[in-house]
Structure 1
Amino acid sequence: MNKKELVTLAENWFAGQDWKPFKFQKDTWDAYLQKKNGLLNAPTGSGKTFALWIPIVLEYIRKNPDYTTKHKSGLKAVWITPLRALSVEIEQAASRFAEEMGTQFTVGIRTGDTPQKERAAQKKSMPDLLITTPESLHLLLSSKNYKKQFKNLNAIVIDEWHELLGSKRGVQVELALSRLKTISKDLRIWGISATIGNLEQAREVLLGPNSEALKNSVMIKADLKKKIEVRSIIPDKMEKFPWRGHLGLHLIDEVVPIIKNSRTTLLFTNTRSQCEIWFQKLLAKYPELAGEIAMHHGSINKETRLWVEQAIRNESLKAVVCTSSLDLGVDFAPVETIVQIGGPKGVARFLQRAGRSGHQPGKVSLIYFLPTHAIELIEASALQKAVEKKAVEDRIPYLMSFDVLVQYLNTLAVSDGFYPKEIFPEVASTFCFQGITEEEWQWILNFITKGSQSLQAYDEYKKVEIEEDGKFRINDRGVAMRHRLQIGTIVSDAMLSVKYMKGGYIGTIEEWFISKLNPGDSFTFAGRTLELVRIKNMQVLVRKSQKKNSKIPSWQGGRMTFSAQMSELLREEMYEASKKTNRGTSRELRSLKPILERQKKESIIPNSQEFLIETFKTREGFHAVFYPFEGRFVHEALASLLAYRISLLSPISFSIAFNDYGFELLSDQEIDMQQVIDNNLFSEEYLMDDLYKSLNATEMARRKFRDIAVIAGLVFTGYPNKLVKSKHLQSNSQLLFSVFRDYEEDNLLYQQAFRETFEHQLEEGRLRLVLERIAEQNIVWRKCEKPTPFSFPIITDRLREKLSSEKLEDRIRRMLQQFED
């Protein structure tokens, strides 16, 4: 069959479903059948699976004219997805088309959830299409004779590439592709990505810079006019001093009518703790919703999550309170409405969540924005403009992730072994390792065979043996098994299983939270109040509890920060709010009039040429509050930097607090702010030196090193049901960190810990840009009588770290009475 006849087959199938293919789908079929690689930029729910699966089947039909009667089994295509939850849907869509075209194509799934029996069957006979995750793909590369399995691979599709791109899982994919390109000579590589700011770079990372694959590639964009409607839930009475303590719960009565008037509503929260609280409060205040609402987050057991996803599809639930666990891909056509609780911190995340509703081509996506405190309405206003402009963030790819490279080389050594001369050009062809030097490569090879310079005396670090013909191989079965158990780049705190005494599995919880509880204490989890009975073998054994007071679990890393794009949009809105006239401003900014008027009365609203500093005194001491509007991670670094530089002028110690809008330095003595301004303490000169000293960067790098040590296999996380406790992991990795610091400072993994601390955690690049911006602005210092509306959320954030929620509410009530005068 020629190309035209093949495309007609697909069009006829579409017509049989009463569908009409979109232009982007036909363009993708066309490019694939011309043997092109590419990146498809398409929103979720637009039919992207059929855009790429159909031409894979058509190509098979072209090569096998008698495809209906004869079939040669074996792996022909791999579909990589970042989330296990997406695999079932892809399998259903793929199987349906393959069957209805009369092929004997088989589709299989291989993820962490795949039963052992099914994996064993796959080993004997691979499906034609394998749907898998980056980790499971590397596990396949760690099996003997893996080249034979992948020899006839024609296509590899990486779904949700934007999600993988800015993470070490993306590096895993790059390395796997570099190997598969060599093994499979007729391989086509395609990525599917939602909209990101750096799409061209995303394609380069996927296909490899300067590669033949990149030269023979296309970018296809789905030009679907998706209308997104954003509505803000604005409280009737606007507080003059907004605070962050109540997680938006004061607007719960506004949300319930939205739920009742929609077929299905998803309520997105930013953290799992907030998800648990909202679910509990909704049921407590509106018990009639019992059985109609559910909860979904990553720590709830798989069966419950799958049940919830199915219940959304068949519309047996009115609402689901969820986290980013439902951000990606899972296709829910019945979802009518989205409620975003609190600022989403990024434009892409907001658009992604909005797209979960009206999840069919041509339908309007409706998203409500519920502010957890009044100033978040400025974020809502900024997001309205971002939706109009389609202003979306870049995803920054990782560079020189040596820990992932060490793991990958051990994977190859576990399977059939490797020759460094063959593998080095492949590694150097990836975006991540395009700058790797011969010296660094040699260091990595020494590390996996001898355990680096300072660990040579210890046999446990000599994992790879060099055989007579120069092949690098792991021959020790114990080393091989431990390596396979630890393949992956997602490192979290030790997760404990939560189980009823009588055996029912509920989900997972972090060790650090549960270690604070005593037997008999109760906590809320997965929508239930549970009493801790005991902890045994990494299991939290519980029974149901009737107690009214129970602790809400919190998860480390629960707080997100503003993206650079979001910060810029927020500043633009702030500058808009500083103008004298309210004409042409958004409904959100107009509703904030009481707060903005009060802010102007006590201080100013800075414009684009101004950088605001406020000082005031309370019973707590002397407060200095600074407003860069650049996100909490940047503010954390900036606050420490400034505190350190001020202490060089005169001895003084500070408590530091920060949020996404600004940061506070609190001291028991007054800061000479004029001296701060005159001495140009916002200079970017000596930035790295001062950051090292101010932030205790070594301590931050030490924490970062734990993850690097786990990924590189320097520390072992344990066997299933017998995991190593996180405090032991921490102490093991800290010991290694100290050894490298004292005896081997040129250790690449040690250096990587500092690099990642500055590049990813402290966002050093953004910090420099902030300091450059402040240098060009007029510094406006306002001596205030009392806290201003802008400073109030930062003060209450600091208090919340110290006080229980009841005490905090009382304290804030008293503060409000005092400041309202």
Structure 2
Amino acid sequence: MSQRVAEWMADQGWSPFPFQREVWQAIGRGESGLLHATTGSGKTLAVWLGALERFAARAPANGSLPLTLLWITPMRALAADTARALEAPLRGLDLPWTLGLRTGDTSGAERARQNRRLPTTLVTTPESLTLLLTRADARHAFAGLGMLVVDEWHELLGNKRGVQLQLALARLRQWNPELIVWGLSATLGNQPHALEVLAGDDGRLVQGRIDKALRIDTLLPGAIDRFPWAGHLGLRMLPQVVQEVEAAATSLLFTNTRSQSELWYQALLEARPDWAGLIALHHGSLSRETRDWVERGLKAGQLKAVVCTSSLDLGVDFLAVERVLQIGSAKGVARLLQRAGRSGHAPGRTSRITLVPTHSLEIVEAAAVQAAVAEGRIEAREAPAKPLDVLVQHLVSMALGGGFHPAELLPEIRQAWSYRNLTDDEYAWALAFVRHGGHSLSAYPDYQRVEPDENGLWKVPSRRTALRHRMGIGTIVSDASLTVKFWTRGGTGGSLGSVEEGFIARLRPGDCFLFAGRLLELVRVEDMVAYVRRASGRKGAVPRWNGGRMPLSSELADAVVARLGEAARGETRSPEMRLVEPLLKVQREWSALPAVGRLLAETHRSREGWHLFLYPFAGRHVHLGLASLLAWRVGRGQPATFSIAVNDYGFELLCATPVDWPTLLQPALFEGDDLLDDVLASLNAGELARRRFREIARIAGLVFSGYPGAQKSARQLQASSGLFFDVFRQYDPDNLLLSQAQEEVLRQELDVDRLEQTLSRLRTSTLDIHAIKRPTPLAFPLMVERFRESMSSEKLADRIARMLRDLEAAAGPGPDEPGAIIDAQSFQPDSPPRRKPRARKDGRPRPLK
């Protein structure tokens, strides 16, 4: 470390940690690596000061320094915060470096300036980096690049955005063989794999664990429900949450879904009207201006609390935040640690996260996650294997960025870890696909996107194709969204953000909905804009965005089973497990508690038919595949039709005709032989693959989502991709995008690898089967899940209330507050019922509340 840097750190009252010195020395030697360090311990400074030390002596060309360092972040909010954090050392060291920011929020004027001359350091996202690589002068623009840093590498490693970054890195390394690459993370369970994907076999792993206090506690209710169900979003905990927020200067309240954040923000405001202006809402569908205002307020310590989603998960540095409250289960150890790190975000300060369970079984999850953290059990993330839709997009991008010779590009692509096993045939197929659309689309000019010139250089010949491709770069695919704007007499007001088209389609003018913390009335929908005005006095629907339900991770699920197994042996050490003892007591008396090495099964006969409740504790994705698989295998031996319900703990199979489950539940039923064929046969795999193909078609450039202000609707996109799906199946059955769609259904939606592991575990587990007289505390939430499929919210609330009264009466005296108070107004489902909306008298759809 130079004297200049040492003096600057001393002026800040800092002294370097050993891991920071190790990183500086490694960067000084030109080494790449991964820094895995405690949140708030100084990872950014470790890499940034190392880069300044190595490259600060560069002589400027033409009066200014070329682009020297790229800093990649996975989120726009993190990009803006990172740019602010990097600026301070530049000013303090008085270096002639320029610093720029390029994300989806960057203005057109700023982009134009950057196109003329890139700054010395550019903070950007994977999508914006790929867009820069499509410039015809990309090689010249990146000629001086010496280092690339990937912040929050764990957030990109396991998805297609990370694969897109791998390909961009392969290109930059081809141009700059001495390029230094570093990744930063605090929550990786498989660090060697993460290091290999990013930095190769020669990368250096630096562990930056420092003694930083982490406090995890649980906000316990006064009494619990012995028959819990996922649906009432914990708002009965509101008074206690208000007390916790009152006691801290600034708090973050994390929820798992944007709809949940809207409800909690409104509830806090109703409970404490005097907090108006002091509490705020932050999620990814709000406008950039709103998000920026909230982030500035947090930075300045001007906000009492912010209700947020994963939009503030990552390493944004808000020093004023003292407390983090997690509403509901975080569903994973890494996610919990990530969110905990948003408080006490500085060396020497305590990070504190308080868990707020939304139903009784989440109290067990709270005890389990604390044990998992203490044991250091963090989820692993694996990089995807050669997604061909991303490769197809990359080929067109490289054809735009100066063109490519196929023989020269192949070894470059194989430098990306995900494509290290790309075969010659797969590469030839991808080349043919971008040249003329493959076997079935060769007659259509729109799919002849890349052509070789007289020198064999493959380029994009059409300006229209180039424009459409640049607008579609990226791997983030979501439903079409409508901008929400105020409607005023003099015209239209400012933008509030965006909601998914499917939600607005259920509303008609005059209907109300809750968005951006406001009760809004829909005025009209025009040109992909929903115009609204403020409403009052009427309850509104809450937008439901896709992707809200996260499955329980393997690490957390194992910890839950371990806690329940201890309770089965009479060991309830933690306050959380002692609080849920009334629930556990009923479960023990009516059936049994799950335990490690035992598979709990419950059978029940009711007026509806014959029920099986099975509890593998493998997460909802695996349970969907497993339930379908078992129903299909049983159905091969006897005529039977099953209804299925799943949650993170288990699943229910209901059949109207008798099923002898004690005889059928043998190890052979859980065999893994021919698993893929059986899973595909047991599910409507063709329809699942068709839905998945929509994402693949968009990434591969088959489907264009539209120009700004004229985006295609979700229905149009689905119809277009479905047409391609059918054409390929009929006329091009060997199309590799079809097999990719099936593979992604199996690996991602159904998590077939985990399913295979679960089947193996179940075959060797001891079956613990019980014939129950009535639904147990573990069975009850599964029945509620099934009821959701066919009931409106009001009818479901009434049905739950009746069942709770009967079950509580059968269970006898219990907690002071037995049973939840359920009515149509307090009921807020985790996801909207899947039936069609009720019709009004005029035949038009009525919004579901």
The alignment of Structure 1 onto Structure 2 pairs a total of residues equal to: 805
Greater CA deviation, 180-189 or 422-431? 180-189
- Residue in 1 aligned with 2:742? 754
- State whether structure 2 residue 679 is matched by structure 1 residue 684: no
Superposition pairs of residues 284-683 of structure 1, within 5 angstroms: 284-501=270-487, 502-579=492-569, 581-582=570-571, 585-678=573-666, 680-683=668-671
Partner of 1:636: helix, strand, or coil?
A: helix
Cα distance in structure 2, aligned partners of 1:307 and 1:44: 24
Cα distance in structure 2, aligned partners of 1:271 and 1:90: 25
Write out per-residue CA displacement over residues 318-353 of structure 1, whole angstroms, 9 at most, x where no aligned residue.
111111111001111111111111111110000111
Cα distance in structure 2, aligned partners of 1:782 and 1:670: 16
Cα distance in structure 2, aligned partners of 1:110 and 1:237: 50
Distance 1:606 1:97, change over 3 A: closer
The structural deviation recorded for 1:571 is 1.7
- Residue in 2 aligned with 1:211? none
Partner of 1:275: helix, strand, or coil?
A: helix
Write out per-residue CA displacement over residues 12-44 of structure 1, whole angstroms, 9 at most, x where no aligned residue.
110011111221111111110111111111233
- Residue in 1 aligned with 2:817? none
The structural deviation recorded for 1:222 is 0.8
- Residue in 2 aligned with 1:8? 3
Note the aligned Cα RMSD (angstroms). 1.6
Amino acid corresponding to residue 410 of structure 2 in structure 1? F
Cα distance in structure 1, aligned partners of 2:283 and 2:404: 41
Cα distance in structure 1, aligned partners of 2:662 and 2:615: 17
Q: Is the 8 A contact 1:522 1:547 kept in 2?
A: no
Partner of 2:493: helix, strand, or coil?
A: coil
Q: TM-score, normalised by structure 2?
A: 0.93
Write out per-residue CA displacement over residues 90-115 of structure 1, whole angstroms, 9 at most, x where no aligned residue.
22232222232232111111111111
Partner of 2:360: helix, strand, or coil?
A: coil
Q: Is the 8 A contact 1:71 1:104 kept in 2?
A: no
- Residue in 2 aligned with 1:3? none
Cα distance in structure 1, aligned partners of 2:697 and 2:295: 36
Cα distance in structure 2, aligned partners of 1:9 and 1:335: 32
Give the gaps of 5 or more residues in structure 2. 811-849
Give the gaps of 5 or more residues in structure 1. 1-5, 209-213
2:234 to 248, 257, 272: 248
Superposition pairs of residues 108-187 of structure 1, within 5 angstroms: 108-187=100-179
Amino acid corresponding to residue 713 of structure 2 in structure 1? K
Cα distance in structure 2, aligned partners of 1:382 and 1:481: 51
Superposition pairs of residues 776-787 of structure 1, within 5 angstroms: 776-787=764-775
Cα distance in structure 1, aligned partners of 2:57 and 2:408: 34
- State whether structure 2 residue 102 is matched by structure 1 residue 102: no
Amino acid corresponding to residue 500 of structure 2 in structure 1? E
- Residue in 2 aligned with 1:87? 79
Moved over 4 A (4+): none
Distance 1:70 1:9, change over 3 A: farther
- Residue in 1 aligned with 2:788? 800
- Residue in 1 aligned with 2:193? 201
Q: Is the 8 A contact 1:82 1:164 kept in 2?
A: yes
Cα distance in structure 2, aligned partners of 1:441 and 1:608: 46
Cα distance in structure 1, aligned partners of 2:125 and 2:231: 38
Cα distance in structure 2, aligned partners of 1:388 and 1:681: 37
Q: Is the 8 A contact 1:99 1:105 kept in 2?
A: no
The structural deviation recorded for 1:59 is 1.7
2:217 to 221, 231, 247: 231
- Residue in 1 aligned with 2:847? none
Write out per-residue CA displacement over residues 179-222 of structure 1, whole angstroms, 9 at most, x where no aligned residue.
111112431111112221111110110124xxxxx42x311111
The structural deviation recorded for 1:506 is 0.5
Partner of 2:613: helix, strand, or coil?
A: strand
Amino acid corresponding to residue 346 of structure 2 in structure 1? Q
- Residue in 1 aligned with 2:703? 715
Cα distance in structure 2, aligned partners of 1:93 and 1:678: 59
Cα distance in structure 2, aligned partners of 1:146 and 1:679: 59
Greater CA deviation, 690-699 or 478-487? 690-699
The structural deviation recorded for 1:734 is 0.8
Partner of 1:480: helix, strand, or coil?
A: helix
Amino acid corresponding to residue 48 of structure 2 in structure 1? W
- Residue in 1 aligned with 2:249? 263
Cα distance in structure 2, aligned partners of 1:37 and 1:122: 27
Write out per-residue CA displacement over residues 147-188 of structure 1, whole angstroms, 9 at most, x where no aligned residue.
001111111111111101011110111101111111124311
The structural deviation recorded for 1:522 is 0.8
Q: Is the 8 A contact 2:187 2:337 kept in 1?
A: no
- State whether structure 2 residue 753 is matched by structure 1 residue 765: yes
The structural deviation recorded for 1:548 is 2.1
Q: Is the 8 A contact 1:410 1:464 kept in 2?
A: yes
Partner of 1:361: helix, strand, or coil?
A: coil
Partner of 1:432: helix, strand, or coil?
A: helix
Cα distance in structure 2, aligned partners of 1:294 and 1:678: 54
Q: Is the 8 A contact 1:582 1:590 kept in 2?
A: no
Greater CA deviation, 193-202 or 790-799? 790-799
Cα distance in structure 2, aligned partners of 1:282 and 1:809: 24
Q: Is the 8 A contact 2:331 2:556 kept in 1?
A: yes
Amino acid corresponding to residue 160 of structure 1 in structure 2? E
Q: Is the 8 A contact 2:512 2:538 kept in 1?
A: no
Cα distance in structure 2, aligned partners of 1:744 and 1:297: 42
Amino acid corresponding to residue 11 of structure 1 in structure 2? A
Partner of 1:454: helix, strand, or coil?
A: coil
Cα distance in structure 1, aligned partners of 2:301 and 2:792: 39
Q: Percent identity?
A: 46
Q: TM-score, normalised by structure 1?
A: 0.96
Q: Is the 8 A contact 1:682 1:775 kept in 2?
A: yes
- Residue in 2 aligned with 1:700? 688
Q: Is the 8 A contact 1:448 1:462 kept in 2?
A: yes
Cα distance in structure 1, aligned partners of 2:541 and 2:62: 62
The structural deviation recorded for 1:679 is 7.8
Cα distance in structure 2, aligned partners of 1:480 and 1:507: 29
Cα distance in structure 2, aligned partners of 1:462 and 1:671: 56
Cα distance in structure 1, aligned partners of 2:266 and 2:496: 17
Write out per-residue CA displacement over residues 408-453 of structure 1, whole angstroms, 9 at most, x where no aligned residue.
1101112311111111101011110000111111111111112101
Partner of 1:503: helix, strand, or coil?
A: strand
Cα distance in structure 1, aligned partners of 2:717 and 2:700: 13
Cα distance in structure 2, aligned partners of 1:70 and 1:425: 35
